[in-house]
Amino acid sequence: MGREILLIEDEPNIIEAISFILSRDGWRVRTHSNGVDAAEKVRSLRPDVVILDVMLPGRSGYDILRELRSSPEFRDLPIMMLTARGQTRDREMAEQSGVSRFMTKPFSNSEMLEAVRALVPVS
């Protein structure tokens, strides 16, 4: 299993923090900040894990997640959603759409590392 993550997030501070945390842990972190063509970016890069923000410019993370899950090649791709809105309804929508893991902002460095490591166990 590889060690490449695609982080789809539009907040520069979050991008910087997650990129720093995960690259120190040995991950190659690619970033993308536009919801409109995010699913195409996943198709072209074929990362090992996707971290997907819920609220993105142009398209919601839920729509992107549903599109990816509708394709057999991405049905099992580990996808973690991030959101500043942690209500039960948001979590339920993500679960119904096929999310692998759900995390609310703010998060700690250790929470992020633990979540990503759980999505892609070392073989």
**6-60: per-residue pLDDT in tens?**
999 999 999 999 999 999 999 999 999 999 999 999 999 999 999 999 999 999 9
Amino acid identity of 84? A
Does residue 1 or residue 111 have the better pLDDT? 111
How far is it, in rounded angstroms, from Cα 42 to Cα 20?
Answer: 21
CATH 3.40.50.2300 fits domain 4-119: yes
pLDDT over threshold 80, residue 122: no
Nearest C-alpha neighbor of 81 from the set 103, 57, 114? 103
Here the tokens at position 61 are: 């993370």
How much is the pTM? Answer: 0.94
SS3 for 65-120 is HHHHHCCHHHCCCCEEEEECCCCHHHHHHHHHHCCCEEEECCCCHHHHHHHHHHHC
User: Does the pLDDT of residue 123 top 70, yes or no?
Assistant: no
